[in-house]
């Protein structure tokens, strides 16, 4: 069967930053990555290997120093801020490594905000599916709370619900289970499985081998380069 054209295509993406000492540091070094519809990809790699920077480049939150990123037919470098924001709003759901919530809004309003921003209202279907998802992730009773009352793991689950509220075609998640206990992690992974089975494309950055194994494919980053997956030999410590 022929592979469909990529939803996200990264071509020789390089990202350099000025360091404190004035040197240029290469954080991403010639990354090629195609993500096609229906993929469920886990990106692993040691801390500092460039995973978050790569997700930022893939989603237009950051610009590569060289190379290109296309989302469907759009070259992100050719888009102005408004067009980029439109693509992000309509195509991507993003779970950030640290969930930023607006403290002046209660939890449910934080979660529903992307729906309001997109269409000015919340449909009955969206509300029902959001409440159901909050229940499944064990935060069903927290809708009326202020964000500062939540634990890190609760905030993380709020962030996941918020990223899914508009049913994005692509979910990009940066360590979405990093603050969760095993049981909550399993709940999240079950939801990801179902979303992927129903057609959602998922890219997840993770340190957790349990999370990586649940994806359909895995890529590994070391020092800003894609390398072959570390061997999964029984009993061996991996460098996730
Ligand atoms: N805005 C920035 N300015 C300078 N250095 C940065 C910036 N963002 C990330 N880095 C550096 O890039 C490297 C990779 O960071 P990151 O992508 O967050 O790694 P990971 O998510 O794999 O832990 C780190 O050394 C980090 O300090
Ligand atoms: Mg990171």
The pLDDT score that the predictor gives to residue 169 is 97
Distance 99 CA to ligand 2 centre (A): 13
Q: How confident is the model at residue 77 (pLDDT cuts 50, 70, 90)?
A: very high
Q: Which residue out of 15, 17, 178 has the highest number of ligand 1 atoms within 8 Å of its CB and is therefore the one to mutate?
A: 17
Give the residue-averaged pLDDT of 84-91.
93
Residue 95: which pLDDT band, with cuts at 50, 70 and 90? very high
Lowest mean pLDDT among 85-89, 139-143, 217-221: 85-89
Q: Which of 22, 50, 58, 64 to mutate to test the pocket of ligand 1 (most atoms within 8 A of CB)?
A: 50
**Predicted pLDDT of residue 240:** 53
Residue 94 lies in a domain: yes
Mean pLDDT of the chain: 93
> Which pLDDT belongs to residue 200?
98
Report, as an integer, the average pLDDT of 193-217: 96
- The answer, yes or no, to whether residue 236 has pLDDT greater than 50, is no
Range 181-195 average pLDDT: 96
Within 6 A (CB) of ligand 1 lie 17, 27, 45, 47-53
Q: Is residue 1 part of a domain?
A: no
Distance CA 135, CA 144 (A): 14
Residue 128 lies in a domain: yes
Report yes or no on 235 lying in a domain.
no
pLDDT > 90 in the chain, percent: 89
Mean pLDDT across 140-161 = 97
Which residue is closest in CA terms to ligand 1's atom 11?
A: 27
Share of the chain above pLDDT 70, in %: 94
Does residue 140 fall inside a structural domain?
yes
What is the mean predicted confidence (pLDDT) over 38-48?
A: 96
Domain containing 202 equals 8-227
The count of domains in the chain is 1
Residue closest via CA to ligand 1's atom 3 equals 17
85 part of a folded domain: yes
Do 45 and 228 touch, CB atoms closer than 8 A? no
Q: Which pLDDT belongs to residue 231? A: 52
Is residue 238 one of the residues assigned to a domain? no
Q: Inform me whether the pLDDT recorded for 32 exceeds 60.
A: yes
* CA nearest ligand 1 atom 8, residue: 53
* Average pLDDT rounded to a whole number, residues 94-122: 95
CATH of the domain at 75: 3.40.50.300
d(CA 137, CA 230): 31
pLDDT digits (tens, 9 = 90+) for 215-232: 999 999 999 999 976 655
* 22 — pLDDT class (breaks 50, 70, 90): confident
Is residue 76 in a domain? Answer: yes
Ligand 1 atom nearest 18 alpha carbon: 4
């Amino acid at each position: 069967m022929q592979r469909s054209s990529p939803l996200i295509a990264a071509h020789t993406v390089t990202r350099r930053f000025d360091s404190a000492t004035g040197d240029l540091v290469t954080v991403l070094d010639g990354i090629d990555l195609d993500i096609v519809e229906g993929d469920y990809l886990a990106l692993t790699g040691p801390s500092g290997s460039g995973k978050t920077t790569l997700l930022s480049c893939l989603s237009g939150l950051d610009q590569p120093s060289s190379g290109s990123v296309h989302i469907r037919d759009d070259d992100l470098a050719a888009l102005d801020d408004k067009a980029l924001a439109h693509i992000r709003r309509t195509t991507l759901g993003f779970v950030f490594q640290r969930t930023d919530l607006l403290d002046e809004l209660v939890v449910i309003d934080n979660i529903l905000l992307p729906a309001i921003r997109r269409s000015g209202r919340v449909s009955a279907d969206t509300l029902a599916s959001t409440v159901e998802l909050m229940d499944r992730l064990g935060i069903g009773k927290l809708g009326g709370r202020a964000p500062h009352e939540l634990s890190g793991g609760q905030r993380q689950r709020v962030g996941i619900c918020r990223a899914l509220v508009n049913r994005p075609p692509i979910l990009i998640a940066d360590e979405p289970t990093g603050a969760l206990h095993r049981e909550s992690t399993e709940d999240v992974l079950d939801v990801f499985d179902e979303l992927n089975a129903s057609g959602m494309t998922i890219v997840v950055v993770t340190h957790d081998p349990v999370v990586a194994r649940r994806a359909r494919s895995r890529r590994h980053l070391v020092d800003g380069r894609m390398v072959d997956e570390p061997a999964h030999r029984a009993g061996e410590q991996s460098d996730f």
